Amino acid sequence: MDEGAVSLLDLAARKTADPALRSFAARLRTAHEDELTALRGLRQRMGLPDTDVHQGHEMPGMVTATDLERARAAEGDAFDRLLVTEIRDHLRQSAQVSRSETTAGRAAEAKERATALAAAHEDQLSKLEGLPGVHG
């Protein structure tokens, strides 16, 4: 899920009209890159395959190719609204998926990572909702 969000956040660096939203998006992009690095390391340590089992799926909270096309076409406030909507959905769903892993997962390291991700995404969501002009 983070890979699609990072692609959208890359666009935000160039397209976001609101400076506070642009700054938030830059921090979130960095955090997501760090998460991806940690998750890839965890996947490797757990001996899981290097494949995206969700490739081509449109799951809740996932920034899809269609979403990215719409984002590329949007400008100004329309882009900002799309960014906020997509990132809000992404953070909510990824926190929910992480919470599910904390209760249903079997590997201690994965459960610890999921706990940290759920807390981080809930905190990021709170910060997003606290930005001027952003309403949940």
Contact 7, 63 (CB under 8 A): yes
Could you say which residues of the chain have pLDDT below 50?
none
Instruction: Return the pLDDT at 12.
Output: 94
pLDDT at residue 16 in the model: 92
Q: Are 17 and 76 in contact (CB under 8 A)?
A: yes
Q: How far apart are CA 56 and CA 20, in angstroms?
A: 33
